[in-house]
Chains A and B, each alone.
Chain A
């Protein structure tokens, strides 16, 4: 770090846009897409004759998606480094030229700076989640009336797009933005273990998002986010977008997780023992462990579905010797860890932020770590509770009932740690803290409603109904999304060096908290009263509750607009510089200057204390005299 570089002269804007960036990526993606489409149509085989009759050509579409994504990655510049190494150029962790590393164009280029990738993730994922949220508004619009408004295919596509987009994008919703940005800062490293891989995961995810949206040009898909066989084989070409999207997400998740694990294992600062690791880093470790074990199963399963649809195999078709139950098992073997991939980073943020705003050390650090690792481990042994009434393995149901109920133990640890941290603290109600307290309330309801789904007799009524839908929205929106916003309000001042408006933040929180509960609490009742999930029609006696939920959902959507308005107001219009450490946090990531310099740390820190040195040590309170018969 001793060499002082002279800032290079910045070339004109047009010159800066020429080269490898988003523009070239989009162009090459289009080229790749049409090349694949053309190539696919050249392939003929007797077994594919059927496609020709129906103008359905899944082979062509899969090739188009594959070559399109490859073109996109080449265009963004992912091959530049391997090629230049093959040509004998020296190795470097940078793909961008010196002058590009400080230009805004690095945000639309392949940048290996983890801080840039973190912000790219936040914006990119935020965009697609916004689209998913718009779909949710349209779904609630449809359910204002007992009779359908949208054509049935369109409605199911909305449902599928909402579920798939949210599930796919939010898997990296915390690890992507906040993991990429803050993991190195929290463990005293200057970078992630594989910076180029980090950039690849982001651009893969973005390519995936576009692929999924392209389903609307191919008729949409009717399967929801679960994509059950044999409906996934029967569906039109829009289904291919779902398959390609989720496979890309799976690859991106796996690579991201390997990167995070390698970073935590090998790049911790001197003195940062496992027992001193911030709890948020532990949550990343637990989540990444789930990612590397669960996501490949998803990719494999979807490859098999793609083969069923193109090469005419019959993995999941019982008419051809396959089994739908195989799909259900493989999907949920990924699908259940998936929901913990969404939930555990939320636990991490909650326990990371509570000590800062309660001004206390984290209560029960080891219990919290055990909770996260316990949830992660046990989540691989519960998947068949999605199949309690499916007619498979009836004898295994008591085991899965037990394992599913056992997983509430480590989840309970998180609650105990949270409550213990609040006890005798000096609580400040800043916006991030409000969202964390919201988590405690929401996740309590979400978690306990899950007990009804883990118990076979009560699952008979609740399975596949609005009850289960309300349950996981309580855990994912009420849990993950609330902590996501806590993280945004907490860390964005560090990431952008600009302060967010606190008053708008509080308005956002209160509207969101009330409207969220007002939306999803009635849905428990709707499910209990017998409304199945993913329907466009329902009995007219449920209209009042549905209308209540819909109107509340629109208010919930409005609260997100307040948040966006806050972002634009604070980041674009006012631009009030943020303090170095507005929350008086003592953790490592707040000790670096704002804005964070590109090299992160001037000098790698040496860690000699636990991560939460808050609170004042007091002499133990005088023992209360015990009143016993003997008088002692």
Chain B
């Protein structure tokens, strides 16, 4: 027990102060920062358990090994009610803490996870809606507040609350904006809402995180959080570029029903 305590006393601060700041996915948004804290808390609470089991295992393996080649019998201990009760109480308390803490963290702002069409945790404040449309094998983005403008690149204004609507035109995809701390599955006929509070301007990576067919591994992209004036200029530029094709676009909707899939042959 003493060894475990010593090992834990050394390991837990290391986890919190040395490993913690490097845990994913960085602090680019409120949601991402929340995940870093969450990952740090989980790792720190689990560290004493790792210390206990490894210390116990190593101690047993060294001090209870059989010396010599004869078969020797160990002590006939069949259990220890106090140890069993203590273990059950400690692990139960930890697990309930995890569940409670996770639920609390989730309720803050949805933690960057997809919440379906009827979100459970809705942060207050004015929101900028942006739609993410996944299809085999690329993402495109629509800005309903700018006339349903559709672009091939994702740009978000800094320090804003963004409401992302994720949907798909074919297979199940997953929109994973790593630096934003956002992941939401894109499903045909379903609207998946995610909230994210952006912070300072920075670029971020986008991947598809659900196997969606042949070129799943090639379905990645770069997006950016930019300051308000750059964003306004970018939007104006996009309107100009996509003006010619805008009239062929379907009206903005939360989901789209494309023609049924045909097999490739």
Binding site for B on A (CB under 8 A): 50, 53-56, 148, 152-153, 155-156, 222-224, 226, 228-231, 233-236, 317-320, 324-325, 328, 358-367, 387-395, 397-398, 401-402, 405-406, 408-409, 412-413, 415-416, 419-420, 422-429, 437, 440-441, 444, 448, 451-452, 454-461, 463-465, 528-530, 532-539, 584, 614-618
Contact = CB atoms under 8 A, between A and B. Distances in A.
A426 B66 contact: yes
Nearest to B110: A394
Nearest to A362: B78
Nearest to B23: A528
A231 B172 contact: yes
Given A319-B260, A464-B210, A391 B187 contact: yes
B116 A230 contact: no
B217 A228 contact: no
A361 B76 contact: yes
Contact of A448 (B50, B65, B76, B188): B50
Contacts of B34: 457
Given A228-B211, A530-B25, A360 B113 contact: no
Contacts of B79: 363-367, 420
Between B46, B49, B211, B261, the greatest number of chain A beta carbons within 10 A of the residue's beta carbon is seen for B211
Given A419-B57, A437-B57, A367 B76 contact: no
A360 B75 contact: yes
B60 A427 contact: yes
Interface string B79-98: 11001100110011001001
Given A231-B172, A422-B57, A532-B176, A361 B188 contact: no
A530 B171 contact: no
Contacts of B250: none
A222 to B, nearest CB: 5
B42 interface: yes
B184 interface: yes
**What 5 A-B pairs are tightest by C-beta distance, nearest first?**
A391-B192, A615-B76, A535-B217, A464-B209, A425-B74
Contact of A358 (B50, B64, B105, B209): B64
Given A426-B64, A464-B176, 18 more contacts: A156-B211, A222-B214, A226-B211, A228-B210, A234-B261, A394-B120, A402-B103, A408-B95, A412-B87, A416-B84, A422-B57, A425-B74, A428-B66, A458-B38, A530-B24, A530-B25, A533-B209, A615-B74
A152 B115 CA distance: 32
B95 to A, nearest CB: 5
B13 interface: no
B260 A426 contact: no
A387 B190 CA distance: 14
Given A319-B189, A455-B42, A408 B91 contact: yes
B156 interface: no
Contacts of B114: 389-391
Contacts of A459: 113
A532 B174 CA distance: 10
